[in-house]
Chains A and B, each alone.
Chain A
Amino acid sequence: MEGAVATRSPVHDALERLNPAWGRIGPTRAALHFGDPEGEAALKERLALCDTSALKRFGVKGPNAQRWLEDHGIGVPEPANTWSPLPDGQGLVARLGRNEFLVEDGPEGSVTEGLGDSLNSGARGIYPVLRQDAAFALTGGRAGEVMLQVCGVDFGSLDYEARPVVLTRVAVISAVVLPRVEGETRTFRIWCSSPYGVYLWGELRGIVEEFGGGVVGLSAVYGGE
């Protein structure tokens, strides 16, 4: 009776209604595009919302978590509430506090694989955290305007060189926001608890569309097919 385990994005049903081209990241289906990859690439520059929940991620906390990650070849940012890229350039490690970390692979990444298994030995001061986030990317020239509709943080005043991570509220629910500026493109990565996924996706999508943007697949944000 034990078939292949099919895991799902918290907003799987909302994506399915948009008739996406599905791909797979590990056991989870990911919407790669919605039939118009070129249009979505343009949308990404203007204003786009993308579900990134399927990306693999791993959480760990505890007083010895930093050393443990470094022992596994994962360099972590020193200040709290900052992030640094993983070597493949697509993944990232975010420091969510003094002793808590979120590691997220890019679509092709594999850094998080096996990390959990190696913790089963029960090392002291290292506690794995099951990450079951709804994760989104809000990107484009008008992304900042959308964030102003849902979040009270002045992202414009942040020092982006310092790679900030903001623990805040987005549309009145708790969320982690990672703002990035790359050239002319602004991107906000947003993680929230998965049960709120449908709610937050709906609110963000509504505002994005009101501001002339739309939904794009993972390929528009990360490239690839």
Chain B
Amino acid sequence: MARRLAPRGGEWIDRNRPLEFSFEGKKHTGFAGDTISSALWASGRRLLGRSFKYHRPRGVFSFADHDVNVMVQDRALLNIRADVTPLEGGQKLKAVNTVGGLKMDLGQVNNRLARFLPVGFYYKSFHKPAKLFPYYERLIRSAAGLGSVTPGEGRRHWGKGYGFADVLVVGAGPSGLAAASAAGEAGAKVVLVDENARPGGTLTYAENASGGADGMLADLLERIENNPNVDFRADTVASAHFEEHWVPLVHREHGMTKLRAGSVVVAGGAMEQPAVFRNNDMPGVMLGSAAQRLIHRYAVKPFDRGVVLAANSDAYGVVLDLLKAGVEVAAVADLRHEGEQSELGDAVREAGVRVHTGHCVYEAKAAKKGAGVGGAVIAPLDVQNNAVPSRAFEVGCDGICMSVGWAANAALLAQSGCRLGYSEDLHQFVPAELADGIFAAGRVNGVYRAEDKVRDGERAGTLAARHVGKGGAADAPAEAPRHAGPAPSHPYPVYDHPEGMAFVDLDEDVQLKDIKNSIQEGFDSIALVNRFATLGMGPSQGKHSNTNGIRIVARLMTKTIEETGTITSRPFFHPVPMGVLAGRSFHPARRTPMHRRHEERGAVFMRAGDWFRPEYYAAPGRGREEAILGEVRAVRRGVGLIDVGTLGKLEVAGPDALELVERICTGRFAKLKVGMTRYALMTDEAGTITDDGVCARLSDDHFYLTATTSGVDALYREMTRWVKVWGLDAEVTNYSNAFAAMNLAGPRSRGVLSVLTGLDLSEEAFPYLGVREGAVAGVPARVMRVGFVGELGYEVHVPADAGLHVWDAFTEAGEASGIRPFGVEAQRRLRLEKGHVIVGQDTDGLTNPWEANLGWAVKLDKPFFIGQRTLKILEKKGGEEEQRGGEDRRLIGQRTGDRKLAGFALLDGGEGPRPKECHLVIEDGEIIGRVTSIAHSEALGKVIGLAFLPADRTVGSRFQIRADGGALVDAEVVKVPFYDPDNSRQKGAGQREMTYQGGKA
């Protein structure tokens, strides 16, 4: 531990808990409480990472969660920010952005080629010739990603929950602690968050600069600890602000809390900003606050001999801290010609430190051995703040601290709708107009003295509590204390160098010359420079680059900072790991009551919306096709049982139930007899098919309406809305989840059902399309005779909790008849043989009833239904077409050139390439239609399907379908239904022995 200091009061490390870890294959030891960077720096390492573009060496720089060039990977966990992530024993760390390791990184070649890689290089280069684009894409993707994914690594889950507070205080520095205390004491429930491991902010490291810190932190912490209304959360980043004070709080271990607050106090402080000079990115060059954090929190000596670049009082506090830590301060270069006129300045001078006022650090020189700084070139400044290199001199050192100014941590303020204005007194953006319920305190408000920050926090906390009705009329000034004395920030700490490498943005290696070149190329606003030069687009989101970027653009464009404006702050202003965003990833799934039986029978499930449905039932030694074919045969020859519980099921009751059904459905139901069902089709106002099902009349004012699995929720919402809009006396109840349903289908279905029910199933008593209520297997049931699959069939609906009982009863009762469960795929094939349309599969968002051959279900002569007006217009157009000599409009659609859903069969008997659903119909190289359903029919011995075709294609017309690989497959329009065209099987011929043409046994 080469740089570890002797124990000191207030340090965050636990020296009794040493932790061993490795970095780049070498073993190190740190302490519990260390961050990864502090432990490495303490061990004497200076090269901690590589920059993104040029792979330049990087070390500790901000030490404030912005050192994005020092991200590391611990086995499967990537892109760990080493500057703030706690050290853990056993970590096996390596830098993320290297080729062949950190020390011998082959990517360093980019640094040598830097002059050939100017700003915008890859926008201009990597797009031609076009044939090389795949190569470029791989190259860029490879270069752009950080870290390497570990395939096969299990998913790690982070929590993601909600939270609520009267007042959220962001930042637990002196102003945040005071704000939280004041709000809590006013009776508000307060959540106080800070991204650091401990509260205190600047009081935990900048003891000289803050002034009056003795006892202040202890007092503030005591107030917080004694206040039960304040909930303090460490290591937590308030990473964005959304409408109505929704703020995602991100904790690296616990995940995200979506906190909704009544009011928000932003006391996030200010972020120290670097100066721009040549090689300002070298390991050893760091912000003054970074050096102070190393010393005070982690007891790490930043370097042995240093130079401090100063432009404010804080710099002199840094000098004193360095001296106390045993660092030799070789020189102070103060950008201000007047220097520091304060007790701090006197103390530094009295310590014998050489202070060069009106000087800058012009260049950092590399050490002769190892990575990092070996010296600082100090140059005087002229009255225009330009460096005078001819009078520069070099000072040997292994570290340079920069304390030249601050930028308000105002992203949350900006996202909340606050207006920020530039203060020429502070050289900093401060809130000019706050949004409702938003309050600012401390440095973000331009308040820098510790006592003032506490007063400002008290003020903001009191106002925030009052905003949520807590604390009555407690006295609180509306305005923040005004800053007195010299500005804490320098207006332009930027010093150009003819040899470049003066970095404005370390994330993306954006140099000063890159910004100049961007503007020369016409990107003449901060927003354009931001994008073209990637200024502020790295993981730190410009936290230490935007301020200087704006200053440089303003200078080059000869505008004021106010005129230049700011870079838009968008959520999330601090990057959030994808895993945290994903959180628990709720994926709702619905299972029918028979799910367990399906599993036991080897069901292969498919998702229908969020339902699990058996696609087919697999069996050992039987392939998918064979299994499905077996299920089809069972239905056509004997009896099959399918779980249709996912169907939509709506009950409509009340005096206006009929009226509602009439208005929602296109057909006519007034004359539907009690005990009968009828096909029901629904359209929207544009006449487009939205859903279909069966409408059963249970009594004069009581209907039971089925709908599609995916469409029922929308249908239910619409029906309940229309009930209110039309003022109907009817109740609609969605029973889709409450009823289990199963379809018993096949010539032997009647026999199986008769074992379980006392209902009279005779043809006369229970005809095709009838509905009956009665007990099935002892359970109250609704039984409908429907024929979706084209066989004698009964759809049985029972309460969900009895679903499994009834299913088991059918299975047992049908055993002698060879009953077999069948899945969705068999059902689709069976219905396709009948030419039955599946809404959503055979229709799309534009299909009207005539296009789908469902015109017979539309009764335009009834008083009203949704979509009627549009369909009447279409029919009129169809009539005009007819007068012009067009063909039968019911068959070919309504408008010239329109499409229709037509049945087809492949001409090759299915021997060649097999088209699939959604494959296109091609004619003369043009798309003229598409396949909506296709399958091999064993009954017909050929491949059949439905396809949208031009409306003028009649039976016998031939066309071609483009299958996978581009093969064109010949097909012919044929009549539908393909199978049992007179519907004798489903209508009641079930009592007779019927001949099934397909297959063998």
| Least Cβ–Cβ distance between B561 and chain A, in angstroms | 41
| Least Cβ–Cβ distance between B728 and chain A, in angstroms | 12
Q: Per-residue 0/1 for B251-270: is the Cβ within 8 Å of any A Cβ (1 yes, 0 no)?
A: 00000011010000000000
Once bound together, how far apart are the Cα atoms of A192 and B739, in whole Å? 14
Report yes or no: B778 in contact with A132, Cβ–Cβ below 8 A. Answer: no
Which A residue sits closest to B777, measured CB to CB?
Answer: A2
Which A residue sits closest to B737, measured CB to CB?
Answer: A193
Report yes or no: A199 in contact with B590, Cβ–Cβ below 8 A. Answer: yes
Q: Per-residue 0/1 for B789-813: is the Cβ within 8 Å of any A Cβ (1 yes, 0 no)?
A: 0000000000111101100010011
* Partner of A149 from B160, B591, B756, B812 at Cβ < 8 Å: B160
In the complex, B393 has a CB within 8 A of chain A: no
Once bound together, how far apart are the Cα atoms of A198 and B596, in whole Å? 11
Report yes or no: A173 in contact with B588, Cβ–Cβ below 8 A. Answer: yes
* Partner of A148 from B163, B595, B735, B738 at Cβ < 8 Å: B163
* Partner of A195 from B257, B590, B802 at Cβ < 8 Å: B590
Task: State which residues 834-853 of B face A: CB under 8 Å.
Answer: none
In the complex, A156 has a CB within 8 A of chain B: yes
Once bound together, how far apart are the Cα atoms of A6 and B755, in whole Å? 18
In the complex, B864 has a CB within 8 A of chain A: no
Report yes or no: A152 in contact with B258, Cβ–Cβ below 8 A. Answer: yes
In the complex, B669 has a CB within 8 A of chain A: no
Report yes or no: B731 in contact with A61, Cβ–Cβ below 8 A. Answer: yes
Report yes or no: A129 in contact with B733, Cβ–Cβ below 8 A. Answer: yes
In the complex, A157 has a CB within 8 A of chain B: yes
Task: State which residues 72-124 of A face B: CB under 8 Å.
Answer: 122, 124
Residues of B within 8 A of A61 (CB): 731, 733
Report yes or no: B801 in contact with A28, Cβ–Cβ below 8 A. Answer: yes
* Partner of B778 from A2, A148, A172, A207 at Cβ < 8 Å: A2
Once bound together, how far apart are the Cα atoms of A7 and B775, in whole Å? 15
Once bound together, how far apart are the Cα atoms of A88 and B755, in whole Å? 42
Residues of A within 8 A of B738 (CB): 130-132, 193-194
Report yes or no: A6 in contact with B805, Cβ–Cβ below 8 A. Answer: yes
Report yes or no: A194 in contact with B801, Cβ–Cβ below 8 A. Answer: yes
Task: State which residues 114-166 of A face B: CB under 8 Å.
Answer: 122, 124-125, 127, 129-132, 145, 148-152, 154, 156-157
Once bound together, how far apart are the Cα atoms of A122 and B657, in whole Å? 14
Report yes or no: B590 in contact with A196, Cβ–Cβ below 8 A. Answer: yes
In the complex, A23 has a CB within 8 A of chain B: no
| Least Cβ–Cβ distance between A151 and chain B, in angstroms | 7
Once bound together, how far apart are the Cα atoms of A10 and B586, in whole Å? 19
In the complex, B493 has a CB within 8 A of chain A: no
In the complex, B161 has a CB within 8 A of chain A: yes
Once bound together, how far apart are the Cα atoms of A6 and B778, in whole Å? 10
Which A residue sits closest to B732, measured CB to CB?
Answer: A127
Q: Per-residue 0/1 for B755-785: is the Cβ within 8 Å of any A Cβ (1 yes, 0 no)?
A: 1100000000000000000010111000000
In the complex, A3 has a CB within 8 A of chain B: yes
| Least Cβ–Cβ distance between B685 and chain A, in angstroms | 27
- Tell whether A124 pairs with B800 under 8 Å between CB atoms, given A5-B777, A195-B591: no
Report yes or no: A8 in contact with B801, Cβ–Cβ below 8 A. Answer: yes
Once bound together, how far apart are the Cα atoms of A207 and B683, in whole Å? 43
Report yes or no: A130 in contact with B159, Cβ–Cβ below 8 A. Answer: no
Residues of B within 8 A of A156 (CB): 164
Once bound together, how far apart are the Cα atoms of A134 and B731, in whole Å? 23
* Partner of A203 from B584, B654, B809 at Cβ < 8 Å: B584
In the complex, A167 has a CB within 8 A of chain B: no
Residues of B within 8 A of A199 (CB): 588-591
Residues of B within 8 A of A154 (CB): 162, 164, 260
Residues of A within 8 A of B592 (CB): 195
Once bound together, how far apart are the Cα atoms of A145 and B257, in whole Å? 11
Report yes or no: B161 in contact with A148, Cβ–Cβ below 8 A. Answer: yes
In the complex, A62 has a CB within 8 A of chain B: yes
Once bound together, how far apart are the Cα atoms of A223 and B735, in whole Å? 33
Report yes or no: A172 in contact with B735, Cβ–Cβ below 8 A. Answer: no
* Partner of B588 from A13, A149, A171 at Cβ < 8 Å: A171
Report yes or no: B799 in contact with A132, Cβ–Cβ below 8 A. Answer: yes
| Least Cβ–Cβ distance between B10 and chain A, in angstroms | 33
Residues of B within 8 A of A152 (CB): 162, 258
Residues of A within 8 A of B756 (CB): 1-2
In the complex, B699 has a CB within 8 A of chain A: yes
| Least Cβ–Cβ distance between B309 and chain A, in angstroms | 48
Residues of A within 8 A of B813 (CB): 1
Residues of A within 8 A of B755 (CB): 1
Q: Per-residue 0/1 for A191-225: is the Cβ within 8 Å of any B Cβ (1 yes, 0 no)?
A: 00111111100010001001000000000000000
In the complex, B575 has a CB within 8 A of chain A: no
Report yes or no: B737 in contact with A195, Cβ–Cβ below 8 A. Answer: yes
In the complex, B611 has a CB within 8 A of chain A: yes
* Partner of B805 from A5, A130, A150, A193 at Cβ < 8 Å: A5
Report yes or no: B805 in contact with A127, Cβ–Cβ below 8 A. Answer: no
Residues of A within 8 A of B737 (CB): 132, 193-196
Report yes or no: A127 in contact with B653, Cβ–Cβ below 8 A. Answer: yes
Report yes or no: A195 in contact with B800, Cβ–Cβ below 8 A. Answer: yes
User: Taking each of A28, A62, A149, A207, which has the highest tally of chain B beta carbons within 10 Å of its own beta carbon?
Assistant: A149
- Tell whether A149 pairs with B584 under 8 Å between CB atoms, given A10-B593, A127-B654, A127-B733: yes
| Least Cβ–Cβ distance between A130 and chain B, in angstroms | 5
| Least Cβ–Cβ distance between B721 and chain A, in angstroms | 15
| Least Cβ–Cβ distance between A192 and chain B, in angstroms | 9
- Tell whether A195 pairs with B611 under 8 Å between CB atoms, given A2-B777, A61-B731: yes
Report yes or no: A2 in contact with B775, Cβ–Cβ below 8 A. Answer: yes
Residues of B within 8 A of A145 (CB): 161
| Least Cβ–Cβ distance between A19 and chain B, in angstroms | 17
* Partner of A171 from B159, B164, B586, B801 at Cβ < 8 Å: B586
Once bound together, how far apart are the Cα atoms of A3 and B733, in whole Å? 30
| Least Cβ–Cβ distance between A97 and chain B, in angstroms | 11
In the complex, B655 has a CB within 8 A of chain A: yes
Task: State which residues 135-166 of B face A: CB under 8 Å.
Answer: 159-164
Q: Per-residue 0/1 for B660-687: is the Cβ within 8 Å of any A Cβ (1 yes, 0 no)?
A: 0000000000000000000000000000
Q: Per-residue 0/1 for B722-735: is the Cβ within 8 Å of any A Cβ (1 yes, 0 no)?
A: 00000000010101
Once bound together, how far apart are the Cα atoms of A156 and B166, in whole Å? 12
Once bound together, how far apart are the Cα atoms of A5 and B586, in whole Å? 34
Residues of B within 8 A of A129 (CB): 733
- Tell whether A7 pairs with B802 under 8 Å between CB atoms, given A129-B733, A154-B260, A199-B588: yes
- Tell whether A1 pairs with B809 under 8 Å between CB atoms, given A10-B800, A62-B731, A154-B164: yes
Which A residue sits closest to B804, measured CB to CB?
Answer: A8
Residues of B within 8 A of A28 (CB): 801
Residues of B within 8 A of A3 (CB): 777-778, 809
Which B residue sits closest to A16, measured CB to CB?
Answer: B596
Residues of B within 8 A of A197 (CB): 591
Q: Per-residue 0/1 for A7-23: is the Cβ within 8 Å of any B Cβ (1 yes, 0 no)?
A: 11110010000000000
Q: Per-residue 0/1 for B513-541: is the Cβ within 8 Å of any A Cβ (1 yes, 0 no)?
A: 00000000000000000000000000000
Residues of B within 8 A of A172 (CB): 586, 588
Residues of B within 8 A of A7 (CB): 799, 801-802, 805
Residues of A within 8 A of B159 (CB): 149, 210
| Least Cβ–Cβ distance between B724 and chain A, in angstroms | 12
| Least Cβ–Cβ distance between B628 and chain A, in angstroms | 25
Offer 27 A-B interface pairs, CB within 8 angstroms, sorted by A: A1-B812, A3-B777, A5-B778, A5-B779, A5-B805, A7-B801, A7-B802, A8-B593, A8-B804, A10-B801, A61-B733, A62-B654, A124-B655, A130-B799, A132-B801, A148-B162, A148-B163, A149-B160, A149-B162, A149-B584, A150-B586, A154-B260, A157-B164, A173-B588, A195-B590, A195-B800, A196-B589
Q: Report which A residues bind B (CB closer than 8 A).
A: 1-10, 13, 28, 61-62, 122, 124-125, 127, 129-132, 145, 148-152, 154, 156-157, 171-173, 193-199, 203, 207, 210
Given A10-B800, A193-B738, A194-B801, 14 new contacts (CB under 8 A): A1-B809, A2-B756, A3-B777, A8-B804, A127-B653, A127-B654, A129-B733, A132-B738, A132-B739, A148-B161, A148-B163, A154-B162, A157-B164, A173-B588
- Give 8 nearest A-B pairs by CB, closest first: A193-B737, A195-B590, A7-B801, A149-B161, A132-B738, A154-B164, A2-B778, A132-B800
